[in-house]
Amino acid sequence: MTDLSNNPLVNTPKLPFGAIPFNLIKLEHYLPAIEDGIKKTKVNIEKIKNCPDLPSFENTIVALETAQNSIEKPTKIYFNLMSCESNDEFKSLAQKISPMLAQISSEITMDPILFKRVKTVYSNIETLKLNSEERRLLETTYKSYVRNGALLDDKMKKELQEIDVKASKLGPVFGQNLLNETNAFELHITEENDLDGLPEVAKSAARETAKKKGKEGWILSLQMPSYLPAVKYLKKRSLRKVLVDAMGARSFGGKFDNSEILKTIAVLRYKRAKILGYNTHADFILEERMAKNPNTVSEFLENLLKMALPVAKKEINDLKEFAFKIDNLKDFYSWDSAYYSEKLKKKLFNYESEELRPYFKIENVVNGIFQIANKLYDLTFEEIDNLPVYQKDVKVYKVTDKHNEFIGLLYMDLFPRETKRGGAWMTTFRGQGLENDEIVRPHVSVVANLTKPTDNHPALLDLNEVTTIFHEFGHALHALLSDCQFQSLASPNVYWDFVELPSQIMENWATEYEALILFANHYQTGEVIPKELIAKVKKSETFHKGMQNIGQLSYAFIDMGWHAIDPTQIKDIKKFEDDTIGRLRLLPQIEKKSISCAFSHIFAGGYAAGYYSYKWAEVLDADAFDEFKINGIFNKETATSFKENILSKGNSAHPMELYKKFKGKEPDPNALFKRDGLI
């Protein structure tokens, strides 16, 4: 029998605010802790099943809500660290952990005795004296059982369980392949002239990367802080081509190929949906979304495409003409787009993106989002340097409200490393709500891959990176300000086409001068960012919005392509993508490129049949921010309404009901089209 007395994931030492003892956790602790959690969960389930009292909301629904608390802590820590601080040995453990979790989840949701009790309580919903959140929990619990196979016969239940176990193993493999492929690429430059045009900050970072790898010269990588400046500014076209080709070909063939893995994932999802009585995986997923069904999503995407495509075609033609005019470029390809876009932007608006970077020292940006949160929601962020972290770059903040009440912990992990997957995201180590008979406050983490400091420069961000921090911090505020009774309903556990509203609305403050003057000071002189420079940025906000929309729509159509049809018919990924988004292409196709093979959002994340939600939520965001613009971006009444009706409520009510309480009406779809300059 495994001795768990010294396992910090089971016998957790008491730290301030219930913080996680990262310094004590070792690889060998995870599996025993999760196995112990499963045993305790099974004991809890048996207590519910054998309860001699008639099924009630408390002895059945609330008991089920908290039955898996002992599993949730170690699994959240494991999967969060698998994304941001792990190696191959750490990740391989997922092949044991994921099937175990899938198995216990299936056992619970397919148990006929449990479902009978849940159904009994649900059938009495109108006579029970429940508040709105309790009623919502009862409804979502019942639906969860039905949507996970409770009504199936034993044969179909077994088949569904087998599918869930198989699928649980594949997502982590997809993600690891993509990370390995990204890390494996390097473009080694030995002649400084080859770096003509590259900003000094990016050049310095490339030199340090080479130095760390024991090489002379400079190394460019597929990490975004390296890749984006290179494709935007490198004069040498052949190098831009190498980078763009490598980015497009990630995990499409070769050692870390994802082709067969993603096809298997898509087929398993389809088979699961069919067993449950749905036409496709998209039908299954969208039943619990604001959009409700694939037809609504299709109409939404087609309407946006109708608006964006003519604008995008004009933008790309203008860009081609510009490139021909200044460089006599006759064959325009995707590795030219960002480069000439930046030059055209300078010509039209008289500024370069790099002009902003000196005003966005990362420490100032972080302090800025904290000041904005204070002005909007009366939150205070205090760095705590005596709590354990999982990596030396991570910082921890105690968050309190205006009454000095503890709101939660915020972890900030902002720099790239080879142990972290690409992109940026918000996650929770602990949710807000009921846990072990008490309401606990959340532990929230913002993770990103932003420009690192070098020997010559502090970490100076470009505007896209600043917007990224604001976006993920919006998610973090959603989690921190949750005020729910039950963790499964707490923010940000809301419909996926609603979850991006808090993040995307937060991006608006990143370019409002009233917000920028709080933190955007030149890192050397302390000068506040010039108002004229921000005016140029604001004036350029619709620049190439048509092309940007087409880029996002391409991903959304690919997502729905995999999940709104029978994917067993897809044999050739390249042909599938050509058929799906060929009409959206603005430039010649790259021979070896696949969106799907690197599409971790849908094959290693939670966005399957949901990538459209970014655009869907932009409609909500554009419409909602109008309220702030009308009343003032720091208007307390508007901010309080947004907090009380959106951020704090989680999934305690339908999203549209919450939105209408904030805005007074349903969102206007034209708000997005107007903001993007499409109408």
- Edge to edge, what strands does the sheet with 380-383 contain? 380-383, 395-400, 406-413, 443-447, 425-430
Measured over the CA atoms of residue 512, residue 514, residue 518 and residue 523, the dihedral's sign is: positive
The closest of 487, 475, 406 to 444, measured between CA atoms, is: 475
Distance CA 181, CA 20 (A): 31
Interacting residues of 669 by C-beta distance below 8 A, sequence separation 6+: 303, 619
Integer angstrom CA distances of residue 547 from 464, 552, 674:
16, 9, 16
Give the integer Cα–Cα distance in Å for 626 and 605: 31
Catalytic residue among 85, 134, 472, 500: 472
Instruction: Give dist(CA 209, CA 217) in Å, integer.
Output: 9
Residues 6+ apart with CB under 8 A from 414: 362, 366, 393, 446, 447, 448, 449, 450, 459, 469
Is the CB of residue 300 less than 8 Å from the CB of residue 614?
no
Count of all residues that appear for the chain in the document? 679
Q: Decide if 472 is catalytic.
A: yes
The two tokens of residue 632 are 């003032």
d(CA 394, CA 346): 36
| Helix, strand, coil percentages, rounded to 5, for the chain | 60, 5, 35
Place of tokens 């030059």: 343
Q: Where are the alpha helices (DSSP H) in 58-153?
A: 63-66, 69-84, 88-92, 94-109, 112-123, 132-147
Active site (catalytic) residues: 472
